[in-house]
Amino acid sequence: MKYILIILIGLMAFQVSAQEGKSRKELRAERKKQEIAVRDSMRIVQEKWAKDKTFVLEAQQVYNKIGDMFQLTPSTNFVYVNGDQAIIQLSFNSLVGWNGVGGITIKGSITKYEYDDSNKNKPIYIRMTIQGSEGFQDITMWISSGGQGEAQIVDMRGNRLKFTGNIVSLEDTRIFVGSTRF
């Protein structure tokens, strides 16, 4: 009798465990569907930003041309795109710079702009040229569906920077624009 009771309890526990495993699998599938739906809706919003040229890359890290990485403050380090105008700003907290916030600010007009969002499984690709008081800057950007972005900036002299950070809308950004040199 004792053994039968133990076996019955074991079978009941196994049956409950099997049901829970199935429900976990269903929950995992539902969670994955929700994540895909959120990612797809974010992708649609990002495609609209890229098409309308209304977004900001708030940089959290910068890489120089030899690959050294520096942590940045997103409110003062960014690539701002609004219509045919763009601003690139780089600043460091411990330095005094030309723009009043420890670095340099380049404002200019977008003279060339192209983007590619045709492949839904790859990041949105943006290539633009900015003409400002500091000359021409070529910017190549990638925007992932998770909201992260990367911008490679090359000036006329071949100097190269790479910003990485979050892509946000113009309404949600918290940037502070410094003054320009000219």
Least reliable range by pLDDT among 68-77, 87-96, 121-130, 141-150: 87-96
CA dihedral (182, 104, 173, 32) positive or negative? positive
- The pLDDT of residue 37: 85
d(CA 23, CA 31): 12
Of 53, 99, 47, 111, nearest to 79 (Cα)? 53
Residue with more model confidence, 142 or 173:
142
Rounded to 5°, angle at Cα 23 from 20 and 27: 135
What is the model's pLDDT at position 11? Answer: 56
C-alpha–C-alpha distance, residues 84 and 109, integer Å: 6
Model pTM score: 0.79
**What is the pLDDT averaged over residues 106-125?**
92
* Domain map (residue ranges) of the chain: 1-182
Does pLDDT of 54 surpass 80? yes
Is residue 46 exposed (0-12), middle (13-18) or buried (19+ Cβ within 10 Å)?
Answer: buried
Q: Is the pLDDT of residue 47 over 90?
A: yes
CATH code: domain 1-182 is: 2.40.128.410
**Whole-number pLDDT of residue 19:** 46
In this predicted structure, what is the pLDDT of residue 1? 44
Beta-ladder partners of 54: 82
Q: And the tokens for 40? A: 């797809």
